[in-house]
Structure 1
Amino acid sequence: MGRCSTSKNWTTGLHLLINILSTALLGASNYCMQCLAAPSREQVDKAHSQKTWVRIGVPNIIDLVRYQTGKRRLLGSVLLITSLPIHLIYNSAVYFSIGPTEYSVVAAQDKLIQEHGNTTEFEQCFTENVGMELPSLNAAIRDGSFNTLSKQECIDTFAQDYASGYGTIVLVTKDSMPQNESVAWIGTGNSQNFEGGNSQFSWLCDEQYPCTKSIAEENTHNWTVRALTWSRPTIRLSVPIPGGIYESGGWLDVGHYGIPETEDYNHLDDILDKYPSLEELQAELDNPSGWVNSSFPGSVTVRKGEPECTYPRVYGKQTPRSYSIDHCMTLPVKETCQLFFSPPICLIVIGCNMVKLICALLAARENRKDIFLTTGDAIASFLAKPDPATEGVCLLSGPLIKKRTQGWRKYKGRERKYLDLLGIKQETPLRLPPRKRWFQAASISRWVYTILLFVCMLIPSIIVLRLGILNYNKASKSKNLWDSGLGDASTGTTLAGLSIPGTASGVFSMIFLANVPQILVSLAYFFYNGLLTCMLGAVEYENYTTAQKPLRVSWPRGAQRSTYYLSLPYRYSVPLLVVSAVLHWLVSQSFFFVQVIPFDRHGVPQRSSPDVLVTCGYSPVAIIFGIIVGGLLPIVAIVLGLRRFRSHMPLAGQCSAAISAACHPMTMAVDHALKPVQWGQVPDRVLSHGFFSNTVTTDIECDARSSAGSDEQRPSLATELDRNETRAVGFLHCSFTSEDVSEPSTSRLYL
């Protein structure tokens, strides 16, 4: 417990560190899951034999669940599940509790206050209302404990929500004081209910509601306040009710204690709510208008009770006297903000991290052979042992395969046997496709899901921002939104309707609610990472058309180079992690857990008080920055996606079949994969008989012809092909190879 600025700064710094660590954990989990989801050569060969294909070098939870079994599927699922509690509660392992200190406000003529000649009632109420005796107040003034502030400084200091570290305030005036009362009672601060909209410094505005800093500053040069009475005479009532007499201390609880909810009882309750004097109440009872039963007011007996001081919960009536304020003096006290550390939350996070560590170690001990962690691993394996399932279709591309040509399909199912029945080989000469753009390396569904997720995050954020700004301006009456700061709670930015009791379960449930948006940010990272991986993996694949380069593999041999990343280069992955950490932090500052534990004027925390506030708050400024950062991410992806590839190389798009088709070097030379390789037209001409001269030649033509669609229509297509004449033609061939290659021609057919 201590200075609020120190506690707040520590909270901000620790939250930033927590979000960096949680983002690093997210990236590590994604890395491990991608390793677990990576197929082996055996799995790829099995898939190709069934005319299906798998993804290589891209994180995919679906592939992890669908194609992996046993321990790998279990480890991947555990890694994914343990990410959920970390992002739900990790941010609230450390949280800031606001501790507003209640303070009293008085007005006096001189710095030293007259101690003699005051009434006994005044002296008693001074001690009770102010929290210290008059001689002690004078002693504090004499020894310099009070700080002197100008009028503007006084407003700047106290026109804020949840002020802490201030005790008694003396408003110094040159106006005379009432006889037998050397000090005027002005009121209290931080004594109201702390739910949204309640002003904690209404004394600055002469007890007018709502009171904001801008309203208080309007009267800075002519600042006057009206005093309240130190005490109030109490009224005792005897009210007839069905079955007896209800003795009241000056108020009614209609609907309870046998008091019926009739118009007369409600009317009497409304009168008592105005804190009338004995004479005013008797005059209301003697007035026959306003009463349904004219005999009811005559049956109510009122009498004078003992006077009571107007602090803390009894309303003091304003006196006619006004005081012009020259400056003010404040008595500093210890600030009461707190930095809380939640052992249960930390234990849960530590437990999840331990489970993740164990899963990562078990994943590292996997003894699978010939695993395709990167595209380079797949190329090296296919060059060392070409796959016969993809022989004769060197320009086979991911888009062609995904359009279900050549008999390929995405999932296992009914095989297309119409070509086999006709005795036709599935070797097909193809032309080079047009140059593609980066965005075509990822599937349409991946783009749709990624953009849709960001839209689902941004649109509600914009709506919440608009409502939050309206509510903030309504509560603060200020147009300067930037005064609210990042993650700063105020009565205008707390969701009072969500306030719950400050029990352990209540605190935990509100912490859970405040961190729900973190889950969406984590999902956005997974989707965005996968999208960039698809595009940049295709860029790396296409770079082998420019010059001979060593393959980037997981376990290098020969001229191969090792890899420190799977598919996303550091120049992209590191900025993405940084932006993700910043976005997580901005979200934690946009919608956050709020706990307000008020302290009374003696510095005692009121933990059981109904004024304890446990809810969530929002920061319009943080939401604005969060929307900017979150909105830039899809824009950057779209801009990158519009870039063109440098060559006409068929787009593999992490498709195992397309990569395999490009790895038939057509020579018996060994160790292609151990040397620098390049993709291009190999020098040998291939002569092949029996191929159709009007076969599908590009993925664009496939679009038109695949409109024939279903398997039921395929026989008619085969019959049409069968009616065409065949002729022997010579075709060129493209492949990855360690030998010299030339640039392929867009006008030739390749086999």
Structure 2
Amino acid sequence: METYRDHLNSTFSDEIWGESPGYVLADLPARQLSLDDTETRSLRKNSISKSSSTTWDPLGETYTQIEQTETDYPREAQAGSPRTKTLSGHVWQAVAASVILLLNFVLLFVVAFGLREKGPDGYPAIETSSCDGASRLSQGIHYVINILATILLAASNYYMQRLSSCTRSEIDRAHQRGSWADVGVSSVRNMRFMSWDRIVLWWILVLSSLPIHLLYNSVAFETSGGNLYTTAVVSSSFIASGNRQFVEPDSGDQVDFTNFKNISNSDCIKQYSAAQVEFSGASYLTSGGSVVAVSSDENIPSDVIFAFGSSSQNILWASNFTTSTQNFTSVFNDTNMIEAYNADTQQDITLGLLWVCRDSLDLDTFGVAEIAGCNLKSLESGILPWTINGFPISYCLADEQPMRCSVQFSTTILIVVVVSNLLKVTCMLATIFRIQHRPLITIGDAIASFVASKDDTTSGRCLLSKKDVQSGSYIRLEGTNESNRWKRQRNRWFRSVSWKRWSFLTILVSLTLGVSIYLLALGVYNNTSQSYNTGLNQFGAGNSVSIGQVVSISDEQSPSVIKIVLIANAPQLLVSIAYFQLNAIMTAMLANAEWASFAFKRKPLRLSSPRGQQRSTYWLQLPYRYSIPLLAVMITLHWAISQSIFLVRMALFQDGEQLPDYGFTQLGWTSGALMLSIILGGVLYFTCVSMGVFMRYSPGLPLLGGCSLVISAACHAQPDDKNAELGPVQWGVVGVNEDGTSHCGFGSKDVRLPYEGEICT
């Protein structure tokens, strides 16, 4: 035996093929019936047929305007065949997650077995012919990753909402206890009504999202090569004497410049000022190697060389020499910077990377080095003479070393992502095949259920609102005329969302935007205070990156990759949490808009498993005109963040050979991508807030707020309006009670809007 309530719940099951029962729901009496009861086969001889015209819905969907006529074909016969040809929405989500799992597994196989390891770090890599090529490849890979991650997380959110949605029996029990459930939104509140198996699956979906947020974007990362180099200043007589070697002051190694290329001052200044990188306090070249600047001044003895080392100790080295114009001598130091010593003030002065602008060094009384008047463009063009230590430079001899860039992959991170993806797919399949609950997921599901079978706990309260439920007035004022008096109110959209949701979203957005704006301001300050390019434009989004925008996150010389990855992707987690909150707010506001529209339009209900003339939904409450643009913006935002704050790796080379014991892993960011992220995030937030503040609901139905009690109270249909939920319905006054008061509810027949002050029970 199956009760009417049991059968009612079964109509909202989301079978894979949308299977519906073979008997008619509306003709089942409210007593227990056998599945083969002959009463279930009786149909009305005269029911309603529809001739329709298409009308535009402000929510972005079309609906059917009904003209009621009598026909010999009952509405029940239009409920659809036992199996429809269209897969249910939740199945499409599982298919999408499975396809992404397959793609991730293929990528893992290719990375693990198809790519050779580059150098001693053990990371599989794709080498490119140029750093621009590596940058474009990295950007493309990250865009694909963010598309897949966003779709996967959206599918996961879909199932989280499905699992947290209550069945009709669970809602009835909640109402009998004086409580209520959320309908139409993903809800943690509903966990008190959920079975243990659904709670376990829900938490697995939540926890398996963390690796997606924190690791997925760092599966691939760009690696740049940095060349150790030495800069020497020699006289032309030194070159004329046939000397082609000098001792590198840091290591004592011989530097042979026999095969160095002769380049002009302009090219020399451009290359060695733009291609230098300061990384962990030391300076390196992204292209090119050691350079010898040749001076035509014959006052330099042939045995004197000025050499600027570049590796562990960047020092100014001179052989028994002190300039006459600036009294300083070289000192060894461990600051990893070019440093001079002021003999007068006994102060150290740091010059930094600008050996090109050596003669702009200005010593004040405190011995602080100031870069004053170093105009690289004027030096490049020859408008200003190029001198180092007062000696004019004629040309340079430069070591030609190619730029070495690649895109590397972390097999470990990719394995974690694949496992997380597999857990999500497993949970989705378990939900489809093992979890036997039949949830009321959408507002339409709940309306159809309560219209088909009324809930006695809300009888006589057809104007009940979410505010009444939260204040408890629906209990204290039960039966009073004032609480049942209809008022024409146009509430703003934001009132359909709790202040807790708005506050949480605002805190998340403020935190994320605040950190982003701070980093952007820091980058702009550094870019303006340091008027030279560091040559890091191959990292991230390809924009010029200013000095200081690649920084250490700790006192470690080179923090671990995982530590950098977690910090770099922390904004991704914050943005994803903010997205879920924003999605819930948008869902609540738009669900209430759809709810309010039933007071003015007769249209079919939108269900997760539609029957008859009911409409289907694949994105739960968000219409396509909102869900698709929101998804596209979120994909772009996640990609922009991945290009804003990212893992930076540098492999060190000397004379064309990678040094196995040297290299750096650091955190970097770019101002351009940060600006794009701030703009996109700000636009999303303020668009949502603007919708809530400036848009109003049509007067009619009370505010819903996703409350099951409100839906129940508004859905007491007339007894003679059979199967109303299967066709187009409208809310309003549908009849008169025995006491003469009006009765409001959903109906498929004559419905009118209440007038101001009318009592509806």
| TM beyond 0.5 | yes
Say if 1:594 and 1:614, in contact at 8 Å, map to a contact too.
yes
- Aligned pair partner of 1:636 in 666, 687, 694: 687
Cα deviation per residue 1:310-349 (whole Å; 9 max; x = unaligned)? Answer: xxxxxxxx7xx71233x55644322223322110010001
Q: CA deviation at 1:593?
A: 2.2
Greater shift in the superposed pair: 100-109 or 50-59: 100-109
Question: SS state of the match for residue 100, structure 1?
Answer: strand
CA distance in 1 between counterparts of 2:480 and 2:493 reads: 33
3-state SS in 2 of match to 1:598: strand
> 1:440 pairs with 474, 489, 495, which one?
495
Say if 1:199 and 1:211, in contact at 8 Å, map to a contact too: no
- The structural deviation recorded for 1:109 is 8.0
Number of residue-to-residue matches in the alignment? 584
Offset from partner CA, 1:219-278 (integer Å, 9 cap, x none): 44233333xxxxxxxxxxxxxxxxxxxxxxxxxxxxxxxxxxxxxxxxxxxxxxxxxxxx
SS in 1 for 2:512: helix
Q: 1:645 to 1:671 in 2, by over 3 A?
A: same
User: Which residue among 681, 684, 699 is the counterpart of 1:647?
Assistant: 699
Maintained 8 Å contact 2:235/2:300: no
Q: Which amino acid aligns with 1:516?
A: A
From 354, 358, 371, the equivalent of 1:205 is: 358
Q: 1:198 to 1:570 in 2, by over 3 A?
A: farther
In 2: Cα distance, 1:195 partner to 1:494 partner: 16
Q: Indicate which of 22, 26, 29 corresponds to 2:156.
A: 29
Aligned residue for 1:618?
A: 669
Q: Which residue of 2 aligns with 1:216?
A: 376
Q: Which runs of 5+ in 1 are unaligned?
A: 227-317, 408-415, 689-729
Secondary structure of the structure 2 residue equivalent to 1:401: helix
Are the aligned partners of 2:269 and 2:356 in contact in 1 as well (CA < 8 Å)?
no
| Match for residue 95 of structure 1 among 216, 221, 244 | 221
Q: Which amino acid aligns with 2:673?
A: A
Maintained 8 Å contact 2:558/2:666: no
Write the distance in 2 (CA, Å) between the matches of 1:15 and 1:198.
38
1:349 corresponds to 2:417: yes
Q: Does 1:493 align with 2:620?
A: no
Give 1 or 2 for the bigger CA radius of gyration. Answer: 1
CA deviation profile, 1:544-589 (whole Å, cap 9, x unmatched): 2222111111222111122122011122122222222222233333
- 1:182-331 maps to which residues of 2 (within 5 A)? 187=308, 192=314, 199-206=352-359, 208=361, 215-217=375-377, 219-220=379-380, 221-226=383-388, 322-325=391-394, 328=396, 330-331=398-399
In the alignment, the residues of structure 1 paired with residue 721 and residue 651 of structure 2 have an alpha-carbon distance, to the nearest angstrom, of 78
Amino acid at match of 1:344: T
Change (3 A) 1:24 1:190: farther
1:748 pairs with 2:758: yes
Moved more, 670-679 or 160-169: 160-169
- Partner of 1:657 in structure 2? 709
* Cα distance in 1 for residues equivalent to 2:448 and 2:580: 28
Structure 1 residues 171-194: Cα deviation after superposition (integer angstroms, max 9, x where no partner): 46655585656x965545677477
Contact 1:32–1:360 at 8 Å: present in 2 too?
A: yes
Report the equivalent of 1:516.
570
Question: Alpha-carbon deviations, 1:663-693, whole Å to 9, x = none?
Answer: 11223231111111111222x32232xxxxx
Which amino acid counterpart does residue 94 of structure 1 have in structure 2? A
Whole-angstrom CA distance in 2 between matches of 1:649 and 1:465: 47
Task: Please say if residues 396 and 658 of structure 1, whose CA atoms lie closer than 8 Å, have aligned partners that are also in contact.
Answer: yes
Change (3 A) 1:187 1:124: closer
The normalised TM-score by structure 2 is 0.69
Q: How does 1:525-604 map to 2 (within 5 A)?
A: 525-600=579-654, 602-604=655-657
Aligned to 2:724: 672
Pick closer, same or farther for the CA change 1:97–1:212 going to 2, 3 Å.
Answer: farther
Structure 1 residues 91 and 157, CA gap change in structure 2 (3 angstroms) = same
SS of the residue 2:223 aligns to:
strand
In structure 2, what is the equivalent of residue 165 of structure 1? 287
Call closer, same or farther: CA 1:126–1:51 in 2, change over 3 Å: closer
Equivalent residues of 2:198, 2:435 under 8 A apart: no
Deviation of 1:217 (Å): 3.7
Query: Using the alignment, how far apart are the partners of 1:748 and 1:195 within structure 2?
Result: 83
In structure 1, C-alpha distance between the alignment counterparts of 2:495 and 2:563, rounded to whole Å: 44
Percent identity of the aligned residues?
31
Give the TM-score, by structure 1 length: 0.70
Query: How do 1:391-430 residues align onto structure 2 when only pairs under 5 Å count?
Result: 391-407=459-475, 429-430=484-485
**Secondary structure of residue in 1 paired with 2:473:** coil
8 Å Cα contact 1:47-1:54 kept in structure 2: yes
- In 2, the alpha carbon distance for the partners of 1:597 and 1:561 equals 58
1:491 Cα offset (Å): 4.2
CA gap of 1:112–1:335, structure 2 versus 1, over 3 A, is farther
Q: Paired residue for 1:681? A: 733
Q: Say if 1:178 and 1:518 are closer, same or farther in 2 by CA, change over 3 A.
A: same
Structure 1 distance, partners of 2:747, 2:676, is 50
Where 2:135 maps in the other structure, the secondary structure is helix
For residues 135 and 470 of structure 1, do their structure 2 counterparts lie closer, same or farther at Cα, with a shift above 3 Å needed?
closer
Aligned position for 2:51: none
Corresponding residue number in structure 2 for 1:289:
none
Of 396-405 and 520-529, the range deviating more from structure 2? 396-405
CA displacement 1:117-174 (0-9 Å, x = unmatched): x5xxx7464999896645544xx66xxxx79954664466446655323134454665
| Mapped contact 1:189–1:200 kept (Cα < 8 A) | no
Change (3 A) 1:390 1:497: closer
Tell me how far apart the structure 1 counterparts of residues 178 and 258 of structure 2 sit (CA, whole Å): 95
Cα 1:55/1:165, change in 2 over 3 Å = same
